[in-house]
Every structure is written in structure tokens, then in C-alpha cells.
Amino acid sequence: DAGVTQSPTHLIKTRGQQVTLRCSPISGHKSVSWYQQVLGQGPQFIFQYYEKEERGRGNFPDRFSARQFPNYSSELNVNALLLGDSALYLCASSPPSPTFNRGQDVGAQYFGPGTRLTVL
């Protein structure tokens, strides 16, 4: 079975430009989340989408936006790129949680290989 796929794998942009990253979830997964990982740190949560609705947002500026499509794929957009946006951007998809009764409707997250963004 295909895992989470992301495109492109690498990207080089200059400051001020805009970028769109793409993600296709595992078949049957309805939730997609986006993370930013800078070197030497754990992934930082950016967005979570479930059934095409935004379910959560991390502490990132409004330059970051995302959306989920009817086929559950997702795009992450970053406007007005800064040098500090250089990072590995990870997408993860999730099946429903086995503990739905706790109000946690999304289960474990399965990550794609990431998109390495370099801003010059």
C-alpha cells in the first residue's frame, strides 16, 4: 500500500516568494496534518485538517495557510518567505482514533518523506 506522498522533495526559493507544498494521504485516511521541522528539533505542528475542515492550528503566522481537497489531499502555502522558513515540511495522515469516546477523533499520524525547503 502506498504511504503518504509529498511533492516536491526539494525546493529552493528566495525571500519574499511564495511556495505551495502538496501531500497525498494514505488511502482511507481523512485527516492530514502539516509540520515544520528545523534541523536538530522535533517537528512543530502547523495545521490539522479533518474532513476538509481545519481542526487545529499551531503557533505560526498568517503567512502560512493550508487547505484539504475532497479527495483528502492537501496543500500548504507559505507567502512572503523568510530565511527562517527554511526547514523540512512534513505531512502526516491519520486514520480515525480507536478511542473515539475520548473526543480524540484522530489516531496515530503517519508521516511522508517531507519537502526540504531552502529559502535564500
Partner 1 sequence: GQQLNQSPQSMFIQEGEDVSMNCTSSSIFNTWLWYKQEPGEGPVLLIALYKAGELTSNGRLTAQFGITRKDSFLNISASIPSDVGIYFCAGLPMRFGAGTRLTVKP
x/- map, 64-103, partner 1, by CB under 8 A: --------------------------x-x----xxx--xx
Which residue's CB is nearer to partner 1, number 38 or number 80? Answer: 38
Which residue's CB is nearer to partner 1, number 17 or number 104? Answer: 104
* CA atoms within 13 A of residue 4's CA, in its CB half-sphere: 28
Q: Is 44 in the site for partner 1 (CB under 8 A)?
A: yes
Q: Of 98, 77, 84, whose CA–CA distance to 20 is shortest?
A: 77
Q: Is 45 in the site for partner 1 (CB under 8 A)?
A: yes
What does the block give as the cell for 93? Answer: 495522515
Residues 13-42 that bind partner 1 (CB under 8 A): 33, 35, 41-42
Contact (CB, 8 A) for 95 and 6: no
Residue 95: Cβ within 10 Å count: 16
> Binding residue for partner 1 (CB under 8 A) from 1, 2, 53, 59?
59
Phi, psi of 91 (to 5 degrees): -115, 145
Q: Of 89, 104, 63, whose CA–CA distance to 10 is shortest?
A: 89
- Binding site residues, partner 1, CB under 8 A: 4, 33, 35, 41-45, 48, 56, 59, 90, 92, 97-99, 102-104, 106-114
